[in-house]
Amino acid sequence: MKLLIYLSDYIIPFVIFYIVGFGMLMKTQTYDEFVKGAKEGFNVVFGIMPTLIGLMVAIGILRASGALNLLSVLLRPITDLLHFPSELVPTVLVKMFSSSAATSLLLDIYKEYGPDSYLGRMISIILSSTETIFYTMAVYFMTAGVKKTRYTLAGALTATLAGVVASVVLTNLIF
């Protein structure tokens, strides 16, 4: 265990020295390449910023308007049939768009039910086994210039559903 702690303290400086050393060995202007990469990174950030702001504003509006809570009330008959707590529906839906917004909903669940409650444990497992689908697709596909996503969305939604189902099963086994 002490070896892992020792390695974790020195791995980042080692990687940096390795990159710089390899660049010097290959006679590459390492600093110039770093600056060039940083400029390209800023261009990417500026390119995706409108999409990110749009996603954040839309989630804020849905949350503030109460639409997410209304949706969970409307879906309660279906979620009861599936043995899924309807209180978690807003968090699961928001997670597909924004991890930070889902985390704020997670904190609300912790405040109301407690982190060690059935709902607290289930939503913790759900959030750790699902991905921010639309955010990820927007950022990466926009950056790469991909226009046709083919089956990416269907695959990502299927994987999210599998993560939610597995989380429910695991929570029921553990709790």
- pLDDT tens, position by position, 49-75: 887 788 778 878 887 898 888 989 999
- Look at residue 34 and give its three-state secondary structure: helix
Model-wide pTM > 0.85: no
What pLDDT digit, counting tens, does each position of 113-152 carry? Answer: 999 999 999 999 999 999 999 888 888 887 788 888 889 9
Residue 10 lies in a domain: no
Cβ count within 10 A of residue 89? 20
What are the backbone angles phi and psi of residue 103, rounded to the nearest 5°?
A: -65, -35
Q: Number of structural domains, the chain?
A: 1
Residue 132 and residue 95 in contact, taking contact as beta carbons nearer than 8 Å: yes
Q: Does the structure show a pLDDT above 90 at 3?
A: no
Residue 23 lies in a domain: no
pLDDT at residue 152 in the model:
92
Provide the angle, in degrees to the nearest 10, between the axes of the packed helices 30-65 and 99-113: 50
DSSP states along 68-100: HHHHHHHTHHHHHHTT--GGGHHHHHHHTT-HH
pLDDT at residue 34 in the model:
87
Q: Does the structure show a pLDDT above 80 at 7?
A: yes
Residue 29 lies in a domain: no
What pLDDT digit, counting tens, does each position of 71-123 carry? Answer: 899 999 999 998 899 999 999 998 998 888 888 889 989 999 999 999 999 99
- Give burial (CB, 10 Å; 0-12/13-18/19+) of 174: exposed
What is the arithmetic mean of pLDDT over 22-42? 89
What is the arithmetic mean of pLDDT over 45-51? 80
The rounded distance, in Å, linking the Cα atoms of 154 and 151 is: 5
Cβ count within 10 A of residue 122? 24
pLDDT at residue 98 in the model:
84
Residue 63 lies in a domain: yes
Domain that holds residue 56: 49-174
Residue 111 lies in a domain: yes
Residue 85 lies in a domain: yes
Residue 143 lies in a domain: yes
Residue 126 lies in a domain: yes
pLDDT at residue 174 in the model:
83
